[in-house]
Chain A
Amino acid sequence: NAGVTQTPKFRVLKTGQSMTLLCAQDMNHEYMYWYRQDPGMGLRLIHYSVGEGTTAKGEVPDGYNVSRLKKQNFLLGLESAAPSQTSVYFCASRTGESTNEKLFFGSGTQLSVL
């Protein structure tokens, strides 16, 4: 099983450019999450989804948009990138069953905005 796959792994953007990060999971998980990881700040939740067609805001949603058109995919978009969005982005997913509650993480996307 591939688990949670994130693409791309690295990206450099100029201020004002747009891009989409793709997260794909092959475990039929209901819930999916996007986090950003910054030194000294741990992981902060950007957006999340509790099912196909639904999304919700996390702690730091400004400047990002998401879509969950298919259950297996969760897209994170940056419409106009800013240097403050330089970070490592992680996608995670989990099953809807509470008995096996744990997050599965992708390997991350390192994004630099110049």
Chain B
Amino acid sequence: AQSVAQPEDQVNVAEGNPLTVKCTYSVSGNPYLFWYVQYPNRGLQFLLKYITGDNLVKGSYGFEAEFNKSQTSFHLKKPSALVSDSALYFCAVRDMTGTYKYIFGTGTRLKVLA
């Protein structure tokens, strides 16, 4: 079965420090991987995706993610965190069995402390 795991419920980081939000996946075939962000009382917004090509993907708001096939991971990173980055982050994978379903992780709450 295809699945996504986000092992940390919450990540705390000081403003200006680098941040990492972890994601691992289990899929058949080559994965399509995504990161979304949810601010309070809002819907999810697309941050970035990996489909093929360069393992380091750049996205919105200075975020980037590194695809690692051997470790089946797709960690979200940012070199210097902002207080405004505080939000709920979701990793997702597209079901590659032809159904066009998207499977989401349980989410990681990022708190950036001033």
In Å, the complex CA distance between A106 and B42 comes to: 8
Within 8 A of B (CB), among A1-40: 4, 31, 33, 35, 40
Q: Give the secondary structure class of A's interface.
A: strand
A97 at the interface (CB under 8 A from B): no
In Å, the complex CA distance between A45 and B4 comes to: 14
In Å, the complex CA distance between A58 and B102 comes to: 10
B14 at the interface (CB under 8 A from A): no
Stretch in B44-52, B61-69, B70-78, B79-87 with 4+ CB within 8 Å of A:
B44-52
Within 8 A of B (CB), among A68-110: 90, 92, 98, 101-108
In Å, the complex CA distance between A106 and B41 comes to: 11
Bin chain A's interface residue count.
20 to 34
Residue of A nearest to B9 (CB): A40
Once A101-B49, A102-B49, A107-B42 are accepted as A-B contacts, the answer to whether A48 and B105 lie under 8 Å apart by CB is no
State the A residues within 8 Å of B (CB). Answer: 4, 31, 33, 35, 40-45, 48, 50, 56, 58, 90, 92, 98, 101-108
**Cβ of B103 and Cβ of A105 under 8 Å apart?**
no
B31 at the interface (CB under 8 A from A): no
**Cβ of A45 and Cβ of B106 under 8 Å apart?**
no
